[in-house]
Structure 1
């Protein structure tokens, strides 16, 4: 989340709760954009965030929250830990959805068996009714609640389609269960569609479950980047005493000590001591960089064998690591050019589907045969059902989020969604240094000894090992590791399999 001010307008990014489809994103965006004092509102469904440009003299974020709550959504206004709260809530919702899906599937199974194979069994319709009702109105009640909230404001989303399709199928079946003579008197058989209503609810819930799982996995890239920063640091006070504090408590000008193997907590400048620091997560360069007094160090990089003190210069959101994390989050939240087209389609998608469904029913009533009403209702329900997943509005933002997240996991920072979309046009790739395509860990490949040496090769290699063991340089470490392995091989302490594992 971030906030800026320009020309009396403030821009605020806030997590949104309750969005279940691209139509929801359009609904949130339009509801906010209609409010006085809001210049623009842009919703990203994949990251579940809304960015609002508004005049704080006319409207406040608390009013955004009330507006969205009236339609069935919610906002998290916490500027410090809003994203973490959103993830906690989504994690709880995922577990609750998982349980509801399992229970709904368990009740749907006997309904499908009865409806497909044992429909002539006595009281089959009543049994299916008993099993189907809780699937729709207990485990799937959120679809109907959200559809109602949308309808109150003249809006519609995917929940509206699910509620309409399953609700009509259930009510039609309910009527035919208790009043079969209405159709018998007209020479027709009263069909029921309990299994269709129950199966649709279960499949949609399963789809949402898979979608939420995919979203939680794509956030792992951000979590890994955040994990590069240690939680605690060693603070050195004016008397030279050391104490361990939380990294969030570090202030500019504090003197911090970094021990061998520790991650550097914030950006700063070395004040005493020296060491080699692995900066591959920033530069891609595999060889550690020597740091001495006056040299810059960066948060998230890893100290090697030495110990040093440094002065904290940039903390919190100002560090280079924080800026990288922010870039990845912004890129994940950006919209590709094709997404603009998707948003336009999503805005009219539900009304168009409803119109097609009504036309389908009308066509059956006008030109249908003996069972025109029954067949017409089934056809209308089918039109509503097949539109429910809304793959068009879901695929693009999710693909962008996954692509940029996987890139970050592998050390590739993608500027925005537009760059990702145009990536398929790349025909030439230019790298400015070998470090970006190496393992990031120097290894010895060959050892060549001159024939005219005064001592044998084993003695010479032993001297080299003893000398290099005193050095902290990354290349010295590679040489030492190689010589140790060769020595153990000569002694028969290592098998070739173990050697391969070590390499």
Structure 2
């Protein structure tokens, strides 16, 4: 999916399917959000998208399965897993006692464990520490960068030999005299061909099928414009006699440069998309990968996705709270700024609720799990931000309507231009007609119209998320343009998030450093954030902090 035209074709492919409700299609994040009434309906949607040229992204999960003994066990587990709507393919290996699942990227893998347990076996995920979405984005950025660099290296000699004479007087004449005009043309043909059918082949792979399906997109324009300029130049170089006199001109540099520039734009676009989606990844990474769960009276470190409601989890000092739950033993100060925006840690004791992703400070406690996976507060925040990023703003609806007819209209204008120059243009009419028709296609090639709005939404919301501001609705971002004043109901959300000592004022007959050291001697035993600020201030002044004894903490 590259532009709003692709999004419209996806909507058209999904529309006739029964049991599928399409929420939104976002060409910037390359995501489509839909609801399926059944597993069969979801698989029909996957098939329809694949046939339309937009196969959904998938990821592979692996399970360790305990209790398999024969081929009958394999068949039973495979059937149970294949019945899950999010599982596209399930394979179970008796020799390794492992299952490999191909599921839709982003789908909840938790039900796979339940399905295996329902048929009488035990299973747990094999955590390879890999983030499929991040790996795919990184691979795409690397591919785009590699394509652009190769295209730039191959295009530069073509551009210099053809257009350098306009910048450096005498260069063209010197090149013709030194190498020969025909040698230069064959060299340009070779290099331009490598650009088009090497790094630029991606436009043919996407643009030609779209054109054949009757739904040309921006890739189709790039393909048609560049290949028309290249094809005409090949004829002018190889068999100039077939063209009318005076029309055997070459436009290799136009074909090579437009492909290179658009590859540069795609690379920059992928960088912007990666930066904006890092806000979502940052929220996801707030939750730890593992947690200490009590099993059979002992604390065992397990993967986060294996924790179940009702499990007793131990949270150590400095660790992140893994899931939502209630404190059953112990106490601590927990930094809940990611939820409340308040910078001061909150005291947590027996019976208090804690939220997954928040940071435990200095104490330790045991908690009973109340919610896991998609049911946690953090998961709800991530879902809210993702929905806000994928929602269509009012301005985007206008853009979508324009881009829906943009490509066919541009192709029609190019055809009219060709015919008009052939009929009304001066001689050589054919050469001028082709040049101007190709110019129309090339000028319309960049995808800025279809991508500017969704990418701007993602970049804006991503930047806001990194600053701690989350949008609950997509149109809120557009409505900010009318905001002239912002009122905050408290100053806590505008601070650094931690207290510090900025000044020590002592009585006339007292030494401020001595008082600070004395206070630090007592406060060094406390877990309170203000106590920690006093100790840090004394250490920053390199004061000699005396020892203290018989410390008591009065909570309140």
User: Separation in 1 of the partners of 2:293 and 2:23?
Assistant: 43
User: Separation in 2 of the partners of 1:93 and 1:411?
Assistant: 28
User: Separation in 1 of the partners of 2:539 and 2:492?
Assistant: 26
1:54 Cα offset (Å):
5.4
2:155 to 101, 104, 108: 108
Contact 1:248 1:316 in 2 (8 A): yes
Q: 1:40 to 1:443 in 2, by over 3 A?
A: closer
Mapping for residues 125-144 of structure 1, pairs under 5 Å? 125-144=185-204
Q: 1:294 to 1:192 in 2, by over 3 A?
A: same
Contact 2:247 2:431 in 1 (8 A): no
User: Separation in 2 of the partners of 1:96 and 1:287?
Assistant: 45
Q: 1:447 to 1:158 in 2, by over 3 A?
A: same
Secondary structure of the equivalent of 2:366?
A: strand
Q: 1:466 to 1:89 in 2, by over 3 A?
A: closer
Q: 1:187 to 1:374 in 2, by over 3 A?
A: closer
Mapping for residues 218-229 of structure 1, pairs under 5 Å? 218-229=276-287
Contact 1:169 1:197 in 2 (8 A): yes
Mapping for residues 16-415 of structure 1, pairs under 5 Å? 19-35=1-17, 38=20, 40=22, 42-53=24-35, 56=38, 60-76=41-57, 79=86, 82-83=105-106, 84-116=131-163, 117=165, 118=172, 120=176, 121-183=181-243, 186-239=244-297, 241-415=298-472
Q: 1:39 to 1:271 in 2, by over 3 A?
A: closer
Secondary structure of the equivalent of 2:541?
A: helix
Q: 1:483 to 1:142 in 2, by over 3 A?
A: closer
Contact 1:71 1:149 in 2 (8 A): no
Residues 106-115 or 321-330, more deviating: 106-115
Determine the structure 1 residue equivalent to 2:125: none
Q: 1:458 to 1:187 in 2, by over 3 A?
A: closer
Secondary structure of the equivalent of 1:50?
A: strand
Contact 1:328 1:405 in 2 (8 A): no
Contact 1:22 1:390 in 2 (8 A): no
1:450 Cα offset (Å):
3.2
1:129 Cα offset (Å):
1.3
Residues 463-472 or 86-95, more deviating: 86-95
Mapping for residues 466-481 of structure 1, pairs under 5 Å? 466-481=521-536
Contact 2:275 2:462 in 1 (8 A): no
Q: 1:154 to 1:35 in 2, by over 3 A?
A: farther
Determine the structure 1 residue equivalent to 2:72: none
Q: 1:38 to 1:258 in 2, by over 3 A?
A: closer
1:55 Cα offset (Å):
5.6
Contact 2:333 2:360 in 1 (8 A): yes
For residues 411-430 of structure 1, give each alpha carbon's deviation from its aligned partner in whole angstroms, at most 9, with x where no partner exists: 11111220010012123322
1:82 Cα offset (Å):
0.3
Secondary structure of the equivalent of 2:522?
A: helix
Contact 1:33 1:41 in 2 (8 A): no
1:35 Cα offset (Å):
4.4
1:238 Cα offset (Å):
4.6
1:41 Cα offset (Å):
6.3
User: Separation in 2 of the partners of 1:256 and 1:345?
Assistant: 54
Contact 1:273 1:307 in 2 (8 A): yes
Contact 1:61 1:77 in 2 (8 A): no
User: Separation in 2 of the partners of 1:397 and 1:342?
Assistant: 10
1:269 Cα offset (Å):
0.8
Secondary structure of the equivalent of 1:94?
A: helix
1:483 lines up with 2:538 in the alignment: yes
Determine the structure 1 residue equivalent to 2:552: none
User: Separation in 2 of the partners of 1:315 and 1:113?
Assistant: 61
User: Separation in 2 of the partners of 1:432 and 1:317?
Assistant: 31
User: Separation in 2 of the partners of 1:472 and 1:485?
Assistant: 19
Please report the TM-score for the alignment, with normalisation by the length of structure 2: 0.79
Unaligned runs of 5+ in 1: 1-18, 491-503
1:88 Cα offset (Å):
2.8
User: Separation in 2 of the partners of 1:104 and 1:414?
Assistant: 39
User: Separation in 2 of the partners of 1:488 and 1:172?
Assistant: 81
Q: 1:462 to 1:123 in 2, by over 3 A?
A: closer
> For the aligned residues, what is the CA RMSD?
2.3
1:236 Cα offset (Å):
2.1
1:123 Cα offset (Å):
2.5
Q: 1:155 to 1:35 in 2, by over 3 A?
A: farther
Contact 2:311 2:369 in 1 (8 A): yes
Q: 1:272 to 1:124 in 2, by over 3 A?
A: same
Contact 1:32 1:41 in 2 (8 A): no
User: Separation in 1 of the partners of 2:145 and 2:212?
Assistant: 29
Contact 2:24 2:392 in 1 (8 A): no
1:266 Cα offset (Å):
0.6
Determine the structure 1 residue equivalent to 2:502: 445
User: Separation in 2 of the partners of 1:351 and 1:421?
Assistant: 29
